[in-house]
Homo-oligomer: A and B are copies of this chain.
């Protein structure tokens, strides 16, 4: 068999038709299991497909209609929570005939729009996205063209669906827990993004507001202390280091997500001693219950909002929408507190 050096042209539906001695339309019908093909023809065509190693071109199909592909857009900024969401989406799609393509977004940058459009340019039949930076009005208009399910948005929309964790409830669970353990000097670590600063209903903003409210309600307003940093191990660690240097002495830390919590533990382990603190004397809580939280060497108390379930649900909703549903859906996932060894009663010596 002759092996050409360079890129043998991909066989097309015409090649298959010729090889099988039938028309292109016939091949197309076999391909799509359409009505009206004789058994004999079907097998002839299948044989030709095998022989030529033919694969239909998605691009050509896209030009005519749908692609059987859904797009997922997640920040590359990946905490394992996003992995869980993605895994859920993949799982949900396994039983369907849909393909999944993923558009990674470099940073939390405004590139969210670009990524959504890129996906849409590729004629995906629908999109599951986590794009907090894109404005609702823009999304509304985008969603008139492409079926869309947004993750992490607390405000429902008439045009797209939403799946979101109950961040207020989750944060309440954490605060009730810490206050019940006797803590008064509870520090909160939040994700601060200048582009996001004007939004009050993002998950980080709601967790923070709930923290502040809980502190105030407990008569601890004077102990409110918020570290504005990033949901990122290194940055959160650095922020806490600076705060400790400046004299901050929390007995407990509520970190807005697990990555930040890991950073908190990092600093407590590395530099805490210098200030009389350590992972064993400070109670730390995270959010998302990522894989590392459950590691016994970490043992991080965290809020589980089941990313995989969110991914599955969002995908299922998207398929519904593609199938024609018009009424928007807004689903709120109930969080659950998972208590581990990083939780401890307030140190009486402090």
Query: Footprint of B on A, CB under 8 Å?
Result: 3-8, 10, 55-60, 62-63, 67, 69, 76, 78, 83, 86-87, 90-91, 94, 99-104, 106, 117-118, 120-123, 141, 144-145, 233, 262, 265-266, 269-270, 279, 291-292, 295-298, 326
Which residues of B have CB within 8 Å of A141? 3
> CA A270 – CA B296 in complex, angstroms?
7
Would A297 and B296 be within 8 Å (CB), given that A55-B121, A101-B103 are in contact? no
Q: Are A121 and B8 in contact (CB under 8 A)?
A: no
> CA A102 – CA B6 in complex, angstroms?
25
Which residues of B have CB within 8 Å of A59? 58-60, 62-63, 67, 122-123
Interface of A is mostly: mixed
Which residues of B have CB within 8 Å of A291? 233
Q: Are B297 and A265 in contact (CB under 8 A)?
A: yes
> CA A122 – CA B118 in complex, angstroms?
13
Q: Are A101 and B76 in contact (CB under 8 A)?
A: no
> CA A309 – CA B44 in complex, angstroms?
49
Which residues of B have CB within 8 Å of A292? 292
Which residues of B have CB within 8 Å of A58? 59, 118, 121-123
**Nearest B residue (CB) for A10:** B145
CB contact between A102 and one of B62, B101, B118 (< 8 Å): that residue: B101
> CA A57 – CA B123 in complex, angstroms?
8
Question: 25 pairs across A/B with beta carbons < 8 Å?
Answer: A3-B141, A3-B144, A5-B326, A10-B145, A57-B62, A57-B63, A57-B121, A58-B59, A59-B59, A59-B60, A59-B62, A59-B122, A60-B63, A69-B122, A76-B90, A90-B104, A94-B106, A99-B118, A101-B103, A101-B122, A233-B291, A265-B295, A266-B295, A295-B298, A297-B297
Which residues of B have CB within 8 Å of A55? 117, 120-121
Chain B CB within 10 Å, residue with most, of A67, A86, A279, A297 = A297
**Nearest B residue (CB) for A118:** B99
> CA A3 – CA B57 in complex, angstroms?
34
